[in-house]
Structure 1
Amino acid sequence: MVTDKEGYAHLIQYLTEHLGLFENAGTGVDGSTVMEVFEDLLAAQIIVVCGQNPELSFAQRNTIIREVDAIMYDLEEILAGCGRQPVNREQSYFITEFTGLVKNLFDQEIEKALRQ
């Protein structure tokens, strides 16, 4: 759905270009780790996506969940060395932006799927 699209590849490239942001362990914002914040914010975005599209079938929702699992796997691979460190404010802002961009990818693909 999204992980095989060019937009996703660009988004992963955007993340890798900003890996320096995650290399410096700082003081945590709220005790959450980098990966916990990615997971929480991505889950929140997907809940919004599904809520905005009640006409999605059960199969389509399952596809979205599998895609999110694949995205989390990719994030864990990319952020392996720093995923368990406490998230700082700057990282949290980046993660918020990144997960919003992931939501945009889903919005675009869902719109295409529902028009067919």
Structure 2
Amino acid sequence: MVTDKDGYMHLIQYLTEHLGLFETPGTQSMVEDTVMELFEAQLSAQIIMICGQNPSLTFAERNTIIREVDAIVYDLEEILANVANQKATPAQTLFVTEFSGLIKNLFDHEIAKRQLSA
């Protein structure tokens, strides 16, 4: 649905371009969540929003979205392996929120395309 699209590859590239934000320990106070916990929570919230905004999605389409998010989390774990369990800084939290919103935009775009072609 989205992980095989150019937009997703661009987002992964965007993440890798900003890895320095995650690799350099922040001097700011840390939040309670780890980097991966933040990604998981943000992506979960976005998926709930997608499903709520698109009540016409079938069970199969919702399952596809969940499988895609699982693949995205796996990719994030691979990319952020060295920092995934570190407490996040406020700057990292802001980036994670933005990145998760961009992932949601990819899903929104694909869902809209599917609905137009149906």
For Structure 1 versus Structure 2, the TM-score category normalised by the shorter chain is over 0.9
- Whichever residue aligns with residue 93 of structure 1, its letter is L
Displacement of 1:47: 0.4
Displacement of 1:5: 0.1
Point out 4+ residue stretches in structure 1 off by more than 3 angstroms.
none
Q: Which residue of 2 aligns with 1:17?
A: 17
SS of alignment partner, residue 9 of structure 2: helix
Q: Which residue of 2 aligns with 1:28?
A: 30
Q: Which residue of 1 aligns with 2:51?
A: 50
Alpha-carbon distance in structure 2 between the residues aligned to 1:75 and 1:63: 18
The answer for unaligned runs of 5 or more in structure 2 is: none
Displacement of 1:25: 2.5
SS of alignment partner, residue 59 of structure 1: helix
Q: Deviations over 1:17-72 (max 9, x none)?
A: 0000001223412x110000000001000100000000000000000000000000
Alpha-carbon distance in structure 2 between the residues aligned to 1:24 and 1:89: 13
- Whichever residue aligns with residue 10 of structure 1, its letter is H
TM-score normalised over the length of structure 2: 0.95
The answer for unaligned runs of 5 or more in structure 1 is: none
Alpha-carbon distance in structure 2 between the residues aligned to 1:28 and 1:83: 14
Identity of aligned residues (%): 67
Alpha-carbon distance in structure 1 between the residues aligned to 2:70 and 2:81: 16
Alpha-carbon distance in structure 2 between the residues aligned to 1:6 and 1:56: 23
SS of alignment partner, residue 84 of structure 1: coil
SS of alignment partner, residue 61 of structure 1: helix
SS of alignment partner, residue 108 of structure 1: helix
TM-score normalised over the length of structure 1: 0.97
Q: Are the equivalent residues in 2 in contact too, given 1:25–1:86 (CA < 8 A)? A: no
Across the aligned residues of Structure 1 and Structure 2, the Cα RMSD in angstroms comes to 0.7
